[in-house]
A and B are shown apart, each in its own frame.
Chain A
Amino acid sequence: MAQHQEKARIIRFEQLSPETVRLTLAAPQIAADARPGHFVMIRAGLGKDPLLRRPFSIHQAISNGQIQIYFRVVGRGTELLAKTKVGETLDVFGPLGRGYRIEAERPAYLVGGGLGIAPLLFLAQRICQTGRDLSRDQILLGGRSRDDVAPLVPDFQQFGLPLQVVTDDGSYGRPGLVTDLLDGERIDPSGVVYACGPEPMLAQVARFCADRGVACQVSIESVMACGMGACLGCNVDASGGGYLHVCIDGPVFNAEDLAWNM
């Protein structure tokens, strides 16, 4: 896959909640090659501190040469990104990694928790473009509270896929965890679960799918320096022993390929 380093202009800045920001960037080369589940490495700031780029999933890639990222402010890098303004440029490198492998003929279950919702919008869009029967598909989203999910719900609704939302505190949708939804759902064993979210959630989704023989693809995170297979810093335990590297073997893995240490 071709990778591109682009000076991407910020087209739109949306503060979707006190802690979350969505940026729309003009990055035509990256947008053209991006697939759901791919990520980009973005330089926050121009100096030597913070030094490393920060990885973000591609939230959407729009045919007019734009990409979106959706992130939460957790530390210095994301704080700097949250202070950017429309018209500024960011050094963006991507698209990187192995994305979701869409099984066009099989029912799709998109399961997102917290910021893990971010890459699923792009996935939902591409699944809808496969032009197949969407009636059996499901989107299941969970967050800590209203702010985590509510702002994105209209974007997911535009695809017309059945959508269910839960929040930990019940401030939006039903109260509970997204994994509760999964249990309540009648998941067709011939379907595919596409999940992204915090690791404990993914571990539970993986176990649920393993128990029922349902195919399961998960997008996971790790700390990264290069994002392209050069530093070997992003290792995770593989189920077959040894390590896999999130930036080149993932970030989307078949759940059964990973060792879930919980």
Chain B
Amino acid sequence: MMGRTIFIDPGRCIGCQACVSACRECDSHRGKSMIHLDYPDEGHSVASLPTVCMHCEDPVAPCAEVCPADAILVTADGVVQQADTTRCIGCANCVNACPFGVPKIDLQAKLQMKCNLCYDRTAYGLAPMCATVCPTGALFYGTLEELQAERPGVQVADSFTFGSTTVSTGVAMVVPADKVQWPVPGGLPVVEINGRDVR
């Protein structure tokens, strides 16, 4: 199945933002974090989850597909790189195209920035900075087999539906066992959370 990648386990996230600080410290984005935390049921639950680039595989990275300047390159190992500084025109097409809300635009620099899976570290066999430090293992870097060896019975999903479109990703998410059969709803409409009607 999938090779070494990030697995996100929202059930373990404690919202500490160590990943956010770590991303800020990594060499490829020094000073800027490419991660943000989402709070899926604000006001009712303390649940949180980190959002990193999902490194879409099929269709190939919507952000790259819509880039008019061909600035976003996808490497052979499936990593969707951040925009090439010599090509990016800061048009924000990628921001609008991404179904996960990941890329950011530095308006002053006219440059798109996003998670590149810490290419400077993963190329050396190290884990990305966020998954290295994550105190709880809500972000895990490795193979599915390594994840399942540590966490018996854990199930993951790597396809997400947005309306009628399904996106397969290089980054996977831990889901309840009965949810592996079909794509995880990646966008609205969500009609109920924890048995509560949120329409």
Decide if A and B are genuine partners: no
**Which residues of A pack against B, CB within 8 Å?**
none
**Which residues of B pack against A, CB within 8 Å?**
none
